[in-house]
Amino acid sequence: MSEVRIAGTGLTPFGNVPERTGRDLFAQASAAAFEDSGVPRDDVEAVFYGNFMGELAEHQGHQGPLMAEAAGVRAPATRYESACASSGAAIRDAVVRIRNGETDVALVGGAERMTNLGTAGATEALAIAADDLWEVRAGMTFPGAYALMAQAYFSEYGGGREELAHVAVKNHENALTNEKAQYQSAITVEDVLEAPQVSSPLGLYDSCPISDGAAAIVLTSETYAEEHDLDAPVAITGSGQGGDRMALHDREYLARSPAAREAGEEAYADAGIDATDVDLAEVHDCFTIAEVLALEALDIEPIGEGISAARDGRTTADGETPINLSGGLKAKGHPVGATGASQIAEVATLLSGEHPNSEYVAEATTGVAHNAGGTVASATVHVLEEVGRP
């Protein structure tokens, strides 16, 4: 089984650029990834592309070959859709293909164009990741769904809005040095608590923004990296995927994420590690409560204790296990189809010492990327390790 190396990464800035198309964004990200990798485009054997709302935002389906063309690649291309976990799912399939020897070089990534829809249009488009028959038609939106999950968590384990506010403050602080982040501005706990309510108990600063952006990664087999003398010191050593019932009312838990736990356990076992080996993580914090649930699902925090992790400094940049050093979805932004790939790119550059926040994790060797779809009805988890040059 071949080891999967990260040869190069590329990100666009995440933000509000409604005039730019998805193909334009992915062309920029993939060009940066190829430049970073030193891998010729002609060597790419397959493209794995994540996108969620292309039909709604751009009236464009069949995006796989379109994005391969935008990247300047002539290779079979497939578009993956798993809501907010779309490019996480794309990465997982690319890892499997490279490991089993079918592919030596893959271009993996995703993009989303969202702000051209406006706030109402983007909210409506995002809502189709929920159960249309039982949730969307009843008026459910994702702020409302995560608010229910937050209320369930407070009821079962305790905590409140102030603890969640510390999650937002931490992630905004981490984004200050990230030139790709949508929000490079500090906030205070008071700012969070005094902001307008979106869906109680969640307020404006508990929520990630609507974003445009793209991410691309060049993955290769260890053999290819060695033969071409690539500078590729970070490998994807573990991959997992989990699922849960779609509608919240059908689930066993509201205050836990079984899909993420399943994905994390599979990824840890695949890499031969456990949670105590994790030095840093990028987790899917579309809302502040989502970060809490992710930490507990990944066993980084015990059940019921994730709520206090940011407040008590365990997950801050200088804490025991820094979480979302990129700024997370909360401050970096969340162009849905690009998010999973961007998390992998952030962890890889943190481990290789090329990230502006690498100083906080200079001794780190193991990182995790957790990507969730909808209200975590789907989830992927990947383990990355600094393994040295091939």
| Lookup: tokens for 134 | 């039982």
What is the distance in angstroms between the CA of the first residue and the CA of the last residue of the chain?
15
Phi/psi at 41 (nearest 5 deg)? Answer: -60, -35
CA distance 152 to 255: 6
Give the pair of three-digit tokens for residue 367: 């990182």
Residue 216 bridge partners (DSSP): 10, 109
Residue 259 near residue 244, CB atoms below 8 Å = yes
Q: Is 334 a catalytic residue?
A: yes
Catalytic residue (one of 228, 334, 355, 370): 334
* Tokens standing for residue 294: 């992710």
Whether the ω angle into residue 201 lies within 30 degrees of 0, i.e. cis, is yes
Residues 379, 92: contact at Cβ < 8 Å? no
Hey, what are 333's tokens?
Answer: 């932004």
- Helical (H) or strand (E) element with 281: strand 280-282
Concerning whether 249 is annotated as a catalytic residue, the answer is no
Which residues are the active-site residues?
A: 84, 334
